Amino acid sequence: MSKVYHRILQIVGNVIAVEAEGVAYNELAEVTGKFGSSLAQVIRLQDKRVYLQVFAGSRGIGTGDEVRFLGHEMQVSSSDDLLGRIFNGRGAARDNRSPVTDSLIDIGGPSVNPARRVIPRNMIRTGIPMIDVFNTLVESQKLPIFSVAGEPYNELLARIALQAEVDVIVLGGMGLKYDDYLYFRNTLDRHGALSRTVMFVHTASDPVVECLMVPDMSLAVAESYALRGKRVLVLLTDMTNFADALKEIAITMEQIPSNRGYPGDLYSQLAARYEKAVDFEGAGSITILAATTMPGDDVTHPIPDNTGYITEGQFYLRRGRIEPFGSLSRLKQQVNGKTRPDHRAIMDAMIRLYADYKSTQEKMSMGFSMSDWDRKLLSYGALFETRMMDLSVNIPLEAALDLGWQTLAECFAPEEVGIKSDLVREYWPQA
C-alpha cells in the first residue's frame, strides 16, 4: 500500500521536494524516471512538503518522475550470508552475486546504555611495536589513523586487520579509489581473510549520498554480529570523505555552516558512528579503526579535530611511520598494567628520551656543539627509529620490551633514564 506521487516541486543539488502526506521522517522512497530508479531518504518535513536526498544524485530526475514511499527506514541484512560478500553504499551487491535480503535490520539504531557497557579489558596484539608497546590497541576501542593523502594508511589498516585476532572484519570504504578497493579485496583474499569479511564499498565515482550510508550500514552489520558473540573489527576508510559528504548535503539544505563550511552537528554525526564501538557483556564486541586524511596535514582542521575529541586516541601516520608524539591510545592504561610490570615504565621513558633526542637534533642542525649527553641521545634516537618505529618490524610485545631495555642499556646509564629503581634492578640488561 505504498503511496506514489508524481509531482516533484524542487530539485536542488541532490535534494528533491514533493508534496505528500503521512510521510515519516527518515523514511525511504524510490524515485523512478526515464533514467532509472534510485532510493531516496526523507531529511526534512515542512507542512505538506517532503524533502528527500536522492542516493544516486538528482541528475536526470524530471519533475514528473514517480516518487514511491516505502514505509520503512534504510535497512540492511544481518544474515550470516553476508560473509565474503561485497556491497555498495546502498546495500546492493557489488560482486555480481545475488542480493541478500533476509533478516533485515534498521541502520543507525539507538546508542548503547552506558550502564551496560563494560570496561575494555582485552589487548589486541598487532605485532607492531609502536602500537603494542607505546599505544596498545584494545578490544572495543575506536581509533582513527590520522594521515595525509599518499601515506600507506590503507596498507596499515589491512595489516592490522590481518594480524589482529578477531572473528569478523567489516570494511566500510568511502570515496575509495578503485585501486584501493581492489587492494583491500586482493589482500584479504590472499591471506584467506575474505571469507570472514563483509565489505561495503563506495568508490570515488559513486553518487555522494551513498557515501553517507556506508558507516551506518557497516556498523549495523557489525552490531548484529557482535550481539551474536562475534568479535568484530570495523575498518572505515576514509572518514574525511564521509564528513565532506555531510558538508555537501548540509550546504544544499541551506544549513548555517559552523567552521570551514562543515555543519554544526559534525561532532554529533561523527560521534553517533564512532560510539558504536562497544564490548557487550556476555556477547561480542566492535572495534573501530578509521582512516582520516587530514586536509593540508592540519590536525586542527574540523574533521580530524572533531574526530580526536570523539575517539579513544589516534595514530599519526607520517612518512610511513607511526609518530610517537601525538599518537595515543587512551585505553592502553586498561591493559598495559597487566602485560608486564615494566611495560608502562619502558613506554614512558623511551618516549621521553626520544623527545629529548628530537630537541638535541634541532640543536645539532643549528650547529651547536654536542655535549656527552647530546651524543648519547643521538645514538639512542637512531636506534629507536630503526628498532621501534619502522613499520616493517613485526615482533611480539615481550620481545619489543626486551629490545627497549637493550636499547636503553646500550645508550645510557641506569640513573639517566628516569625509571623507578626497582624496575631498573630487575630488567636492566647485565653487561
Q: How many residues bind another protein (CB under 8 A)?
A: 84
- Cα 264 versus chain centre, distance: 21
Report the site for another protein in 271-290 (rule: CB under 8 A): 271-272, 274-276, 278, 280
Residue with C-alpha cell 642542525? 365
Other beta carbons within 10 Å of 106: 14
Angle 116-309-326 (CA atoms, 0-180°, nearest 5)? 120
Say whether residue 178 binds another protein (CB under 8 A). no
Q: Judged by CB under 8 A, which of 9, 11, 45, 395 binds another protein?
A: 45
Q: What DSSP designation does 87 have?
A: E
Query: To 10 degrees, the CA torsion angle through 116, 123, 234, 286?
Result: -10
Residue 20 vs 171, nearer CB to another protein: 20
Helix (H/G/I), strand (E/B), else coil: 44: strand
Q: Judged by CB under 8 A, which of 11, 204, 326, 340 binds another protein?
A: 326
Q: Note whether 77 and 91 are within 8 A (CB).
A: yes
Contacts of 421 (CB under 8 A, 6+ apart): none
Half-sphere exposure of 207 toward its Cβ, with a 13 Å CA cutoff? 20
Say whether residue 12 binds another protein (CB under 8 A). no
Q: Note whether 151 and 419 are within 8 A (CB).
A: no
Say whether residue 209 binds another protein (CB under 8 A). no
Q: Note whether 85 and 247 are within 8 A (CB).
A: no
Residue 157 vs 303, nearer CB to another protein: 303
Report the site for another protein in 402-431 (rule: CB under 8 A): 415-416, 418, 420-421
Q: How far is the CB of 140 from another protein (least distance, A)?
A: 8
For the CA atoms of the chain, what is the radius of gyration? 25
Report the site for another protein in 333-352 (rule: CB under 8 A): 333, 337, 344, 348, 351-352
Backbone angles phi, psi at 53, to 5 degrees: -95, 130
Which one of the spans 210-218, 229-237, 251-259, 383-391 is the region binding another protein (CB under 8 A)? 251-259
Report the site for another protein in 289-318 (rule: CB under 8 A): 299-302, 305-306, 308-310, 312-314
Q: What mask of x and - would describe binding to another protein in positions 113 to 142, judged by CB under 8 A?
A: xxxxxxxx-------------------x--
- Cα 78 versus chain centre, distance: 21
Say whether residue 369 binds another protein (CB under 8 A). yes
Q: How far is the CB of 27 from another protein (least distance, A)?
A: 8
Q: Judged by CB under 8 A, which of 30, 66, 73, 390 binds another protein?
A: 73
Q: What mask of x and - would describe binding to another protein in positions 21 to 40, judged by CB under 8 A?
A: xxxxxxx-------------
Query: How do strand 257-259 and strand 231-237 relate by DSSP bridges?
Result: unpaired
Say whether residue 102 binds another protein (CB under 8 A). no
Q: Burial of 232 by CB count in 10 Å (0-12 exposed, 13-18 middle, 19+ buried)?
A: buried
Q: Judged by CB under 8 A, which of 205, 372, 392, 431 binds another protein?
A: 372
Q: How far is the CB of 90 from another protein (least distance, A)?
A: 18
Say whether residue 1 binds another protein (CB under 8 A). no
Q: How far is the CB of 332 from another protein (least distance, A)?
A: 11
Q: How far is the CB of 22 from another protein (least distance, A)?
A: 6
